Structure 1
Amino acid sequence: MKVYLAIDFGSTYTKLTAVDMENEVILATAKDITTVEDDIMIGFDKAFTKLKAEINKKIDFDKVEFIGKTACSSAAGGLKMVAIGLVPELTAEAAKKAALGAGARVIKTYSYELNHREMEEIKATPLDIILLAGGTDGGNKECIIHNAKMIVEHEIKVPVVVAGNKAAIDEIEEIFKNAGIDYYVAANVMPFINKLNVEPSREEIRKVFMNRIVEAKGMKQAEDYIKGILMPTPAAVLKAAEILSVGTDDEDGIGDLIVVDIGGATTDVHSIAKGEPTKPSVMIKGLEEPFAKRTVEGDLGMRYSALALLEAAGTRKIRNYLHDSLKQVDVKAECKHRHDNIRVVPQTEEEIRFDEAMAMAATELAMTRHCGILECVYTPMGTMFNQNGKDLTETPFVIGTGGVIIHSMNPAGILRAGNFNEQDPIHLKPLEPRFLVDKTYILSAMGLLAQDYPEVAIRVMKKYLVEAK
C-alpha cells in the first residue's frame, strides 16, 4: 500500500497523518508530546509507534510503502520575525503581510530610519528572521540602506530577507557581504504604491526556514529522516486553504473561504478571497489585500494568552457567551487558572463550556481585526463609503480548526461568533456562511500533501471536513 506521511512538529504535540494514496483516505493519525528541548525525535518516535499500531489494525505495517515523508513545524515558538519598512501604512504594512503569509509570527513592525534605541530593542528580541523592505522601485532608497547599515552596526546576526526598492539592492548586498550577514534577496514587496507582491518574499522566508531555522531549533535529525521540513505550520494551513478554495485544473475547489484556527497562544485567521466591495457606492481605500491573507492575534489564545484574551475581550464579553448555568463563575480566576496550567484539558461540562465562551470571544475579536471595515464619507454627490481591507460578507464557508473547536460540543456556535453583527455594521464579516470543522486535524497535513499531490489533498479535505450546524 502506498502511503504519504505528513508530520506536524507542533509547539505542544507532534502530529502524524498517514494518507492511503490509492483510496484517498486517512489511514491513521497519531500524536505525542513534542520534545524539542531534548531530542525532537523522541516525541516523534512515540507518535510513530502509535501510528504503526493504528495502521496494523487495518493492514500489516510491513506492506506499507511510504512514497513521501514531509513535515511542517511550529515547535519552539515557530518562526519569529521583525518586519521593517518605510511608511507604516505602506511598505511596513506590506512587509508585515508578506511575513504573516509565510507563516511567521511578526513580533513587531518598524518604519522610517531606525534609531539606536530601536536597534537595541530588535537586538534584545529573540528573532529568527528580519524582513527588510522600504521604498517603491525607483523611489526612496536612503531609508532601507540606512537600516541595512544599522543592522550591521549593531551586529544583529540573524538571516535578513531583503525585499525593498530594487535601486538599493546592489549597495545593500555589498554592505551585508562585507559584514558577513546571511541575507536573501527577493522582489520588492511593494514595487509601486498600493501594489503588493508578497509571494517572492514568502518563498525566500520559506527557504530560510528550511536552511537555517530547522537546524537552529535542533531539528536536524528530523530533517535527515524526512528529507526536508518544508514550511512553518501556519504556512501549511494557508496552503491547504488556498488549494481547497481555488482547486486545480483537474479538481474543482469550493470557492472563497475563511479558516479560524484557535490555539493556546494565538488565534490565526486565513481568508482566501479577493474581498472586493459587494455593495454600490463603496470604494477601495488603502493597501491592496493579498488573495491569501493571514492574520495572527497573539493576545487571543486559550492557554498561554488566556490573560491577554481576558484583557482584550473584557469580563463582560466572555460572560455574555457563557451558558446560563455559569453566569456567576469567576471569569478572571478561570482565565488565570488556564494561563497558569497551559496543558490543562477540560474534563467537566462546566470547564468545556467556559473554554467555548473564551473561544467565542477570541473568534469575534479575531474576525473583527481580520476583515475589512467601512468608513462613511460625505461628498457633493451624497454619502459614499471607503472600504479598508476585505469585504468578506458573502464568503460561503468558514472552517474551524484547533483543539477547542475540534473537541467542542458546539463548534458552529464558536464560529458563529465571528459572523456579521448588525450592531457593528462597519466590520465586513460573513453574513450566512456554512461551517466546516477540521475534526481529524488534517489541514496542515493537507498543505504538505498539496505540495506533491494537490488533487488528492483537495479530495481528502472534501471527505473529512465535517459540516457543523
Structure 2
Amino acid sequence: MSDEMTAILATDCGSTTTKAILIEKVGGAYRQTFRGESPTTVEAPFDDVTRGVLNAIQEVEELSGRTILDGEKILAPAGEGRGVDLYVSTSSAGGGLQMMVAGVVTAMTAESAQRCALGAGAIVMDVLASNDGRAAHEKIERIRVLRPDMILLSGGTDGGTVSHVVELAEYIRAADPKPRLGGNFRLPVIFAGNRDARGRIQEILGDRTALVMTDNIRPILERENLGPARHTIHDLFLEHVMAQAPGYGKLMGWTGAPIMPTPAAVGLIMEQAAKAEGLNLLGVDIGGATTDVFSVVDGQFTRTVSANLGMSYSVSNVLAEAGIEKIERWLVEPIAEQELRNRIKNKMIRPTTIPQTLADLALEQAISREALRLAFDQHKALAVSLKGVQQERTIADAFEQEEGGKSLIDLYRIDLIIGSGGILSHAPRRAQAMMMMIDAYQPLGLTQLAVDSIFMMPHLGVLSQVNERAATEVFLKDCLVPLGSCLAAEGRAKRGEPCFAYTVRFADGRHTEGTLRFGEILRLDLPSGAEAELQAEPSKGFDLGGGKGKPVRLQVKGGVVGLILDGRGRPLYLPDDSSDRAAQLRAWAAAMDLYPE
C-alpha cells in the first residue's frame, strides 16, 4: 500500500514551533510540496498540543488548496484535492525525552546504559554508578531533584553481581522521584541488568514505580545488547511520557505510526539515506538548547547529544566551555570583553531574537563554530569501538566502549557532512553555513557538504518507518541543499609556501589550474548537479587522502556554493597576533564571498 500513497502529512511538535509538511506524488516521484507552521501549544493557556498541530495543518491547507481537515478530523484516504493517505508526527515539545541512567561500573554497564538512552533519542540528565564517587545521600538527592521522565537501571552481567544493582534500586526507592509530567502516575523504571537480580528489584521497586523488565544490555562483559531496552524506552515514551503531555492522547489517535522523539527520527532518516546512497556521513542539528551529532560509518549509527551547547538557551554554556579567547579568534572586528559577554547573555535572556547587524551575525557564527566543535569533540569521544568484541547493534545503538576502543570517525572516510538547525539552515548566505562547518569539523581529503533546507528531517525519519521510499526520495531531492565539495590538505607549513597544485576539468571542456599556498582557501563555481574531474598533487608533508606527497584524482560534485580548495592545513591554524589573524579572516571571507561589501 505504501507505494500507492499520493498524499502524506507529517508534523514535528518542537519546543517552540510546530511544523507541518505535505508530501505528494508528482510525476511518479514523492516531493515535499507545501509547509506550514504554528507556535506549539503544549503549555498554558492552551495546554493542548493539538491546537498548534491544527493551526499548522490549516496553513498547509490554505497554501495547497487541498482540503485536509473536517473540523478536527484529518480526512483519509486521499482523493482529488482532498484528504491524505497517512499522517505521522514527531515531538520534542515539553523538553523532549529526559532520562537518568544507572549502572554498576561507570566505564562499563553505566556507559552502556548511556549509549542505549542516547540512541533512543533521550537527553541523559545524569549517569549514576556504584563507583562514581558520590555518597549515598548525594545520589538520592540527585534522583529526587532532577525529576526525569524515566530511569534506565542496568548493572551486572547475567549471573554476576546482585548486591550492587540492588543498592542502586534502593537509592531510587529512597528518592521516590516524581515524574516531570503528570503528578498522578508512577515513574517508569526499566530494569535491563542481571536477570538473577530481577526478584529483588521487583521487591524494592515494584510497588513504587512503573517497573518494566527487559533483556540485560550487558549480558556478558564482551557484548552489548541494546536493542530490547531501546524499544522499551520508545514504548514507555508513548505510553507514559507522551500520554501525560497535554493533548498527546488525542494526537496519538490521529497518527498512522507511533510518535517518535525528534532526535530519534532525525537519526533514523540519516541512517536510511546513508544506506540508500552507500555513504559514510556526519550530521549535526544545532538548536537553541542542545546540539545533536550523528554519524553513520560502515553502516554503524552513532548519536550524541550535547545538552548544554546551543545557540540561545545554552549560549552562555558555549562561552563557559570554549572560553572567550576561542570565540574572539573568529571575529574580524574585536569586541570589548565585557560587551561580548553582555551580548551573549542577552541572547540567553531573549532566545528568540535574531541578528540585526553584520557584527551581531559574525558573533553568532563565531559562537556556532565553537558549539559545533565542542559537540563534535564529545561525539568523537563516545563514537569508539571495542576491540575484539562481538556486537549486537542496530540504528541508534552504535556507541562503543571508550576505553581501548578505536575511533569510528575517520575524517578521510566521511563522504558527506549534513548541517541542520537555524544558524546553518537559515544563514543569509549558503557559503556562511559551509564555512562554519568546514571550520568546526575540519574535514580531510574530499568531502561533500549539505544543509537541511527547512528542517524536515524529523518528519522524514518517522515517515521512513511506514514508507521508506517516500522518505528517502524527499530527503535527497527536497530536504538536502547540496553546498558543494571541499578538498582539504592535512599538514603544516610556513604561510605562502606551496600546499598543493591542482587542475580542475569541467564537463564543458573548460579547465583551470594553479597552486594553492598554505593559508589560502579558494572557491570555484561548480553548480548543483554539475561534476568535474579534479587532479591535485600535494607538496611534501601534505596529505590529500592518498598519503603524504601523493597525488589524487577525484570526481567532484557541485553545489550552491561550489568547489572549495582548502589549503589552510590541518589542524586549522589561526595566527596568534590579533592584526595578523584579522587580516587572515578577511582574506578567507573575501575568497568565500561570505559577507556583502
1:395 is aligned to 2:414:
yes
Q: Which residue of 1 aligns with 2:255?
A: 226
Secondary structure of 1:24's aligned partner: strand
Identify, as 1 or 2, the structure richer in helix.
1
User: Given that residues 192 and 215 in structure 2 are in contact (C-alpha distance below 8 angstroms), is that contact kept between their aligned partners in structure 1?
Assistant: yes
Match of 1:338 among 335, 341, 347: 347
Q: Contact 1:258–1:271 (CA<8 Å) still a contact in 2?
A: yes
Deviation at 1:161, TM superposition (A): 1.2
C-alpha separation in 2, matches of 1:190 and 1:262: 32
Could you say what secondary structure the match of 1:457 adopts?
helix
The one-letter code matched in structure 2 to 1:455 is R
* 1:102 matched to 2:124: no
Secondary structure at the aligned position of 1:136 is classed as: coil
Q: Is the 8 A contact 1:3 1:64 kept in 2?
A: no
2:365 to 356, 359, 363: 356
Residue in 1 aligned with 2:471?
457
Choose 1 or 2 for highest CA Rg. Answer: 2
Q: 1:406 aligns with which of 418, 425, 447?
A: 425
In the alignment, structure 1 residue 66 sits paired with structure 2 residue 84: yes
**Unaligned stretches of 5+ residues in structure 1:** 247-251, 276-290, 376-384, 421-428
In 2 relative to 1, CA 229–355 (structure 1 residues): closer, same or farther, beyond 3 Å? farther
Matches for 1:293-442 after TM superposition, within 5 Å: 293-322=302-331, 324-325=332-333, 330-372=339-381, 387-393=405-411, 394-408=413-427, 409=429, 410-420=432-442, 432-442=446-456
CA distance in 2, matches of 1:33, 1:336: 24
Give the residue type in structure 2 aligned to 1:415: M
**CA separation in 2, counterparts of 1:88 and 1:34?**
38
Q: For residues 98-247 of structure 1, what are the structure 2 equivalents within 5 Å? A: 98-112=116-130, 115-156=136-177, 157-177=186-206, 179-218=207-246, 219-226=248-255, 229-246=258-275
1:308, CA displacement in angstroms? 0.7
Which aligned pairs between 1:17-36 and structure 2 lie closer than 5 A? 17-21=21-25, 23-36=29-42
3-state SS of paired residue (2:29): coil
**Separation of aligned partners in 1, 2:175 and 2:228:** 27
Structure 1 residue aligned with 2:286, among 247, 255, 262?
262
CA distance in 2: counterparts of 1:34 and 1:58, whole angstroms: 22
Deviations 1:376-406 (A, max 9, x none): xxxxxxxxx9655423322111110011100
- Per the TM alignment, residue 168 of structure 1 is displaced from its structure 2 partner at its CA by 1.8
Question: 1:287 maps to which residue?
Answer: none
1:448 to 462, 467, 479: 462
Mapped contact 2:286–2:310 kept (Cα < 8 A): yes
Structure 2 distance, partners of 1:374, 1:208, is 26
Deviation per CA, 1:50-75: give whole Å up to 9, x if none.
11112129999972331111111111
Distance 2:154 2:407 in 1: 21
Paired AA for residue 412 in structure 1: M
State the 1:274 CA deviation: 4.9
Q: Is the 8 A contact 1:271 1:294 kept in 2?
A: yes
After TM superposition, the structure 1 stretch with the greater mean CA deviation from structure 2, 365-374 or 98-107, is: 365-374
Return the alpha-carbon distance in structure 2 between the equivalents of residues 303 and 241 of structure 1. Answer: 25
Determine the C-alpha separation between the residues in 2 that align with 1:373 and 1:47: 38
- Is 1:2 the counterpart of 2:17? The answer is no
Q: Is the 8 A contact 1:372 1:387 kept in 2?
A: no
Q: Secondary structure at the match of 2:216?
A: coil
SS, match of residue 85 in structure 2: strand
Which sits farther off after the overlay, 47-56 or 108-117?
108-117
8 Å CA contact 1:373–1:388 kept in 2: the answer is: no
SS in 2 for 1:433: strand
Task: Please give the secondary structure, in 2, of the residue aligned with 1:302.
Answer: coil
Specify whether residues 42 and 430 from structure 1 end up closer, same or farther in structure 2 by C-alpha distance, changes over 3 A only.
Answer: farther
Q: Give yes or no for contact 2:143–2:172 (8 Å, CA) kept in 1.
A: no
Counterpart Cα distance in 2 of 1:211 and 1:235: 17
Percent identity, please: 30
Determine the C-alpha separation between the residues in 1 that align with 2:358 and 2:453: 20
Would you say the 8 A contact 1:371–1:392 is kept in 2? no
Which deviates more from structure 2 when the two are superposed, residues 310-319 or residues 226-235?
Answer: 226-235
Partner of 1:81: 99
Deviations 1:17-56 (A, max 9, x none): 1111453000211111111112222222221221111212
Of residues 59-68 and 338-347 in structure 1, the stretch that sits farther from structure 2 once superposed is 59-68
Please tell me the residue identity of whatever aligns with 2:273.
Answer: L
Q: Is 1:273 matched up with 2:291?
A: no
The separation in 1 between residues aligned to 2:375 and 2:66, in whole angstroms, is 41
Deviation at 1:314, TM superposition (A): 1.3
1:430 offset after TM fit, Å?
A: 5.7
1:466 aligns to 2:481 (yes or no): yes
Deviation at residue 441 of structure 1 after TM alignment: 1.1
State how far apart, in whole Å, the 2-side matches of 1:432 and 1:164 are.
44
CA 1:32–1:175 in 2, change beyond 3 Å: closer, same or farther? same
> Which consecutive aligned stretches of 4+ in structure 1 deviate over 6 angstroms post-superposition?
57-62
Partner of 1:253: 277
The answer (yes or no) to whether the contact 1:372–1:390 under 8 Å persists in 2 is no
The 1:317–1:42 alpha-carbon spacing in structure 2 relative to 1, beyond 3 Å, is: same
What root-mean-square deviation, in Å, do the aligned CA atoms of Structure 1 and Structure 2 show?
2.6
Q: Is the 8 Å Cα contact of residues 363 and 417 (structure 1) preserved in structure 2?
A: no
Which sections of structure 2, spanning at least 5 residues, go unmatched? 69-77, 178-185, 385-402, 485-597
Normalised by the length of structure 2, the TM-score is: 0.68
8 Å CA contact 1:96, 1:106 repeated in 2 = yes
CA deviations on 1:138-160 (whole Å, 9 max, x unpaired) are 22122112222332343234101
Superposed displacement of residue 293, structure 1: 1.4
Code of the residue aligned with 2:483 in structure 1: it is A
Larger relative contact order (CA 8 Å, sep ≥ 6): 1
Instruction: Provide the rounded CA distance (Å) in 1 between the counterparts of 2:445 and 2:97.
Output: 33
Provide the C-alpha distance between the structure 2 equivalents of 1:431 and 1:268, rounded to a whole number of angstroms: 24
Output one character per residue of 1:157-194: Cα deviation in whole Å (capped at 9) or x when no partner.
410111112222243234433x1521222222222224
**Contact 1:8-1:72 at 8 Å conserved across structures:** yes
Relative distance call for 1:115 and 1:258 in structure 2 (3 A) is same
Q: TM-score, normalised by structure 1?
A: 0.85
Paired residues, number: 430
Aligned equivalents of 1:430 and 1:295: distance in 2? 22
Q: Is the Cα contact below 8 Å between 1:90 and 1:194 reproduced in 2?
A: no
